[in-house]
Amino acid sequence: MSSSDRVLVVACGALAKELRHLIAALDRDGGGSAIDLECLPAKLHNRPELIPEAVRERVRAAHGRYRSILVGYADCGTGGLLDKVCQEEGVERLPGPHCYELYAGAEVFERLHDQELGTLYLTDYLVRHFERLILEGLGISDHPELQEVYFNNYTRLVFLSQEPDPELDRLAQKAADRLGLGFEKVATGYGGLVDALVEIRERAA
């Protein structure tokens, strides 16, 4: 199958493991997923203003080589700028404001949000890379006083768990303790990510 018969997903690196797993599952179940995956650095989570143009660059590089292209980001803090890029480049993105709602589902996420506004959400990926992306990425490791600046208004950490893993549970609790936050785990599985990939697969059929 040539790349012109395939679909490209340009995604956030924080979704890479889950997307690869789901694409492989579709491949096994359907005899050829027709989906390629390219991921941008997950550290863009800390600089959402850079996401739109990074996506534009990758999409433009792939135009003409794929049947269709999907952006594997929600809005992710871009304030609508990613939607503007998607419209200008003729591509679609994942639904919703961020991956937390995509995993948890709108109803569950709204309930969590209403329960406690001061909530920090972590996914499997963010738990695995908490030290690098949060403590080092925000400068807290070198300047501990920044922890209060960033998290003074937070009271709870919610771990949105994609796969059961006692080690991730331990690391998530450790992250909550490190920041002095209460801890709650919500097992979400892959949530809306599954439906999004099935839709992509149907386009490529």
For residue 104, what are the CA distances in angstroms to 57, 149, 150? 30, 28, 24
pTM of the model: 0.85
Separation CA 182–CA 157 (nearest Å): 6
pLDDT tens-digit series, residues 47-96:
999 999 999 999 999 998 998 898 999 999 999 999 999 999 999 898 88
Query: 199 Cβ partners below 8 Å, 6+ apart?
Result: none
Domains and CATH numbers, the chain: 3-95+192-204 (3.40.50), 106-187 (no CATH)
Least confident of 28-37, 82-91, 114-123, 188-197: 28-37
Predicted pLDDT at 83: 97
More confident residue, 1 or 133: 133
pLDDT tens-digit series, residues 158-183:
999 999 999 999 999 999 999 999 99
